Structures are given as C-alpha cells and as structure tokens.
Amino acid sequence: MNNPKPEISVRLIRPIDCSAQLIDAYKTLLLAHTSVKDSHFRQGLAGVEQFVIAVADNAKLVGTACLKYQSRKYQQYLFKQAGVPEMYNPDSIESAWVCVHPDFRGMGIWNKMHEIRSSYLGNRPYHATHRVENHPVSKRTERRDGYRQAGKDFNSVTSEYKLRLVVANHDLVYDPVKKLIYGTLPEKGN
C-alpha cells in the first residue's frame, strides 16, 4: 500500500518568533544534509532576517532556507573572489541554507520555498553561493530561479568546495544613487 503524499506547508518566520526547538530542528536538518558547518551556522544565525521553513503534515520540518545579511567585508570578498567587485551591493541579502530532506525531494518543496522567498524579496537585490559540483542546484538556480552567475567560479576560505556566486536583481555595476526598492513595482499607470 502506498503512503499518501504528505501535505507540505511553507512559510517565512522571523528568528525572534522561533522556538528553541524549531531552531534546533532547523540546525539538525541543515547540518545533516548540507556542507554547512556548525560554526558557520552559529556565526550566521545573528544575521538571519527570515527563515523559510517547509513542514510536512504540520509536524515534521522537511525543508529549510533563509535570507540573511553577511558582513560587508565577507560579501565584498565573495564578489572580489568571483572577479566582479563592481557588482558588490551593500543592500544585497543572501539566500542561504537551502535544504530539503532527502526523503521529501521531488515533491515541489524547493519550488514552494523559492516562490515564498521571491515574493518576499520582490525587486530587492539578493545573492547566493553554491557548490559548482552540485549540478542540480547549478542548473536550477540559473535556469528556473531567476539567478544569473556573477563572475567566475572560485575557491573560498570558508569552503573546501569550488563555489559559484549567483545574483538576482543586481546591476552589473552597483549604483549607490539608486534607491533600494522593496516589494514589487507598481503597475504602469498607477
């Protein structure tokens, strides 16, 4: 007999609204199924603006992502390592810590998490890094998720893997005069 497909709900939640148990479950899932190190998780936790969580049947955490701020120094380092320091944008937020539990892959969870992140971010500039060797992520982020590769693949002091920097809503050359736009642009004529 086949198990029924679980009901998956995805939502944003601010760290301040998370219980200690939820943050622990988030960390456990992330560390078990990604290359994120515990020290990087603890260090990055303070910069999280929003967690994205996917829950199966209102009980089990099965997917994670977050939107977080990096230190300016590290963000500048990423863009420099990719060979595009002129694209560094201090208003950019990092989309990070994306993970779907292996037992729940292929159920559209990544799509749901991407949709809620994109809706929340609107036209705001954001970026992400991922392992070059992770071909499903490479193909997906650049083909379906609206990212484009920024510069060249590079090695980083924070990872043993070759990394790729991808961006969305970034100008080729950062213009500090431009105003940061949150949400979606109004329809023409409004």
User: How confident is the model over 122-131, as pLDDT tens digits?
Assistant: 888 899 998 8
CB 87 within 8 A of CB 174: yes
User: How confident is the model over 100-125, as pLDDT tens digits?
Assistant: 999 999 999 998 999 999 889 888 88
| CATH class in words for 8-168 | alpha beta
User: How confident is the model over 4-22, as pLDDT tens digits?
Assistant: 889 999 999 999 999 999 9
Q: Mean pLDDT across the stretch 81-97?
A: 92
Rg of the chain over Cα atoms, rounded to whole angstroms, equals 17
Nearest alpha carbon to residue 125 among 164, 77, 176: 176
Q: How confident is the model at residue 84 (pLDDT cuts 50, 70, 90)?
A: very high
User: How confident is the model over 130-157, as pLDDT tens digits?
Assistant: 888 876 666 666 666 678 889 999 998 8
**Residue written as tokens 């199966």?**
56
Average pLDDT, the chain: 86
Entry pTM: 0.85
Q: 12 in helix, strand or coil?
A: strand
User: How confident is the model over 54-83, as pLDDT tens digits?
Assistant: 999 988 999 999 999 988 999 999 999 999
* DSSP state string for 98-158: EEE-GGGTTSSHHHHHHHHHHHHHTT--EEEEEETT-HHHHHHHHHTSS-EE-S--EE-TT
Task: Please give the Cα distance from 160 to 13 (Å, whole number).
Answer: 31
pLDDT at 185 over 60: no
Q: How confident is the model at residue 188 (pLDDT cuts 50, 70, 90)?
A: very low
Residue 44 host element (H or E): helix 38-45
Count CB-CB contacts under 10 A for residue 26. Answer: 25
The share of the chain scoring above pLDDT 70, in percent, equals 86
